Copies of this chain bind each other. A is one copy, B any other.
Amino acid sequence: MSIAKMIQESVEKSSWIRKMFEEGPKMKAQFGAENVFDFSLGNPNLQAPAEFHKALAKVTAESVEFGHGYTPNPGYPFVRKAVADFIRQEQGIAATEEEVIMTCGAAGALNVILKAILDPGDEVLCPAPYFVEYGFYAQNHGGVLKTAPTNEDFTLDLDAMARAITDKTKAVLVNSPNNPTGQVYSEESLKALGKILEDKSKQYNKTIYLLSDEPYRKIVFDSIQVPSLFSCYKESIVATSYSKDLSIPGERIGWLCVHPEATYKAQLVGAMAMANRILGFVNAPGLMQRAVAASIGATVDVSQYAEKRELICNGLKEAGYTFTKPAGAFYLFPKTPTEDDVAFVRALQKERILVVPGRGFGAPGYFRIAFCMDNATITNSLPGFAKALKEFK
């Protein structure tokens, strides 16, 4: 083989999703950009908030003085402190800089966490539908991703989760607000999940970690509060990024935080700092560490996403689609009118609408709309959505 077998399989597995992404530019060249409705990628279209741009300009000017040297592997101590202070305020937990590691976004954080905890064959369990990259992340570090179904409205099915935990389960990974469903798991259900993990950890005489991937925490609607995982289970680690709340996904900056009372906190943080280094991240981009610390608490204007949610939900409801209205994130995950979600996605493509089939998220029979697009794109796409559904019914 010229390339590794595992990556060959990964490329093949994700090839049709990539194909979907690649359709965009091709179709735009053919039909004109304004006539293609590309909802395939969660690349936020809002500009970063003014506070961030101001902070970035400031640290850029200052960088002539302080330079661009390596930062410590876990990040600048003052940045970790600023983040910990914010977590303490936001989530009511006694976090300090000791528990925080600055990372190359949430994807970097999750790889660092899994590298630090997975032994070969260990299982990571997550509720489905789920972000398809999790499977690769687990596999990168010798692990295996297992899934448990959720309820009809995509809330946690706790019995299914409990049944899916085995003596090989090393971690449960939740993502709330969820990609692709927009569901936000309730505090009650997360506390119940915490109790299950406590019991199962005792039963198997090991520590099962609860991991939370939270890049959409700030993107929520109707005054919903995203509960803090830390209040639900002691052996927990939160990973997040500034990609969505600051609209800066290309800059690869985020953090992870270990529960201040986690039993093996020191070993975990040491192992994760090491993982950050040897996986090649070395340290989260230095200038961006300074920029996010200088604009902490800033968020994009979420009301704009709320407006887009109304536009797409009202339009699709009127057209006759079935879906659960998302409580957060910028995704809608409607049912396809046929079990063959790929066929329906192809039908939408004829209307020059690009979306991702549900099977890309472990949920055939659905499709994902990333509605982080300008309002005109949403509005102009609605007749196409209606037409495709009508033809299938």
Contacts and interface: CB of A to CB of B under 8 A. Distances in A.
Interface of A: 1-8, 10-11, 14, 41, 43-44, 47-48, 53, 56-57, 60-61, 63-64, 67-71, 104-105, 107-112, 115-119, 133, 136-137, 140-141, 207, 246-252, 263-264, 267-268, 270-271, 274-275, 277-288
Given A68-B249, A281-B281, A117 B56 contact: no
Nearest to A275: B7
A10 B360 CA distance: 35
A321 to B, nearest CB: 27
A69 B248 CA distance: 6
Contacts of A105: 280, 282
Contacts of A141: 4
B63 A53 contact: yes
Contact of A140 (B8, B264, B278, B285): B278
Contacts of A11: 270-271, 274
Given A2-B264, A60-B56, A251-B286, A7 B67 contact: no
Given A68-B250, A252-B285, 4 more contacts: A2-B207, A56-B63, A251-B287, A287-B287
Contact of A280 (B44, B107, B117, B119): B107
A372 B247 CA distance: 37
A294 to B, nearest CB: 13
A71 B250 contact: yes
Contact of A267 (B2, B14, B277): B2
B104 A3 contact: no
Given A3-B271, A278-B140, A279-B111, A47 B64 contact: yes
A193 B341 CA distance: 53
A279 B7 CA distance: 11
Nearest to A284: B252
Contact of A119 (B1, B140, B279): B1
Given A68-B48, A207-B2, A250 B286 contact: yes
A173 B1 CA distance: 19
A279 B278 contact: no
B5 A119 contact: yes
A280 B250 contact: no
Taking each of A119, A252, A277, A288, which has the highest tally of chain B beta carbons within 10 Å of its own beta carbon?
A252
A234 to B, nearest CB: 13
Contacts of A264: 2-3
A117 to B, nearest CB: 6
B4 A118 contact: yes
B247 A67 contact: yes
A10 B252 contact: no
Contacts of A43: 69-70
Sorted from nearest, which 8 A-B pairs have the closest CB atoms? A250-B286, A2-B264, A111-B280, A68-B248, A136-B278, A107-B280, A108-B280, A3-B271
Given A64-B47, A70-B43, A268-B3, A133 B285 contact: no
13 contacts: A2-B267, A7-B274, A7-B275, A47-B64, A68-B248, A133-B278, A140-B278, A251-B287, A252-B284, A279-B280, A281-B281, A287-B287, A287-B288
Which one of A4, A63, A268 has the highest number of Cβ atoms from chain B below 10 Å of its Cβ?
A4
A278 B70 contact: no
A250 to B, nearest CB: 3
A111 B8 CA distance: 16
B252 A2 contact: no
A319 B284 CA distance: 41
